[in-house]
Chains A and B, each alone.
Chain A
Amino acid sequence: QLQLQESGPGLVKPSETLSLTCTVSGGSISSSSYYWGWIRQPPGKGLEWIGSIYYSGSTYYNPSLKSRVTISVDTSKNQFSLKLSSVTAADTAVYYCARHVNRIVGATFDAFDIWGQGTMVTVSS
């Protein structure tokens, strides 16, 4: 059974870089059938897609965050990572990683079908 687990610091200072890792277990991140995505949710608010990556390293990002986001993949560790630079209090959120069913790689629809439990990141000095 595929599982995803986010990890990383729960507190980041303003202007610094937020770094999170998602570890995939019970399956291979190198599957040709899926992308892997990051989604966040500020406290009490809705969901925002951040970006997605393929095992080959191909990425695409939310244009509103693109200038500050880098998503990378490490297939040897079955992990993918998120870096968000120049953070402010507005970046305080629960960050989720998820498997991304994606038409780009042959699926008939796009959806985030398996999610990690999420990790809370607070931006504060």
Chain B
Amino acid sequence: DIQMTQSPSSLSASVGDRVTITCQASQDISNYLNWYQQKPGKAPKLLIYDASNLETGVPSRFSGSGSGTDFTFTISSLQPEDIATYYCQQYDNLLPYTFGQGTKLEIK
């Protein structure tokens, strides 16, 4: 299986801060990476696909970049409603699809 390692595991930031989460794959996955947001008690929501493409309706303060094994997810200006756990997910041709362990984002 391809292992996805996110860092940090948790993060505390202030409203308006720029927030960055990284995701590292155990092998080259090209740009086959998605990012999801999961609020407490809710289902995950797709934010970014193909490493850098914003899903329809997702605010432009969210962005993603990277390819190969190293990926970055950024919130340009943290809003209170962004409090959630964020997951990366790879979809390389080798099964299974796997997710990172998650990054819990809190407001400072």
Contact = CB atoms under 8 A, between A and B. Distances in A.
B43 A115 contact: yes
Interface in A73-125: 96, 98, 101, 103, 108-113, 115-118
Contact of B43 (A46, A108, A111, A116): A116
Contact of B96 (A49, A116, A117, A118): A49
A117 B41 CA distance: 9
Interface stretch (B64-72, B73-81, B99-107): B99-107
A67 interface: no
- Which of B36, B46, B95, B97 has the largest number of chain A CB atoms within 10 A? B97
A63 interface: yes
Contact of A111 (B34, B100, B102): B34
Given A46-B87, A111-B34, A60 B95 contact: yes
B64 to A, nearest CB: 12
A108 B43 CA distance: 24
A95 to B, nearest CB: 11
B96 A62 contact: yes
B97 to A, nearest CB: 4
Contacts of B91: 103, 109-111
B30 to A, nearest CB: 11
B49 to A, nearest CB: 5
B101 A63 contact: no
Ranked nearest first, the 6 interchain pairs of A and B with the lowest CB-CB distance are: A110-B91, A115-B43, A62-B96, A47-B99, A49-B97, A109-B50
29 contacts: A46-B87, A46-B101, A47-B36, A47-B44, A47-B89, A49-B98, A49-B99, A60-B95, A62-B97, A63-B95, A63-B96, A64-B96, A96-B43, A98-B43, A103-B91, A108-B50, A109-B34, A109-B49, A110-B32, A111-B34, A111-B89, A111-B91, A112-B36, A113-B46, A113-B55, A115-B43, A116-B43, A117-B42, A117-B43
Interface of B: 1, 32, 34, 36, 42-46, 49-50, 53, 55, 87, 89, 91, 95-102
Given A96-B43, A111-B49, A112-B36, 16 more contacts: A46-B101, A48-B99, A62-B95, A62-B96, A64-B1, A103-B91, A108-B50, A109-B50, A109-B53, A110-B34, A110-B91, A111-B46, A112-B89, A115-B43, A115-B44, A117-B43
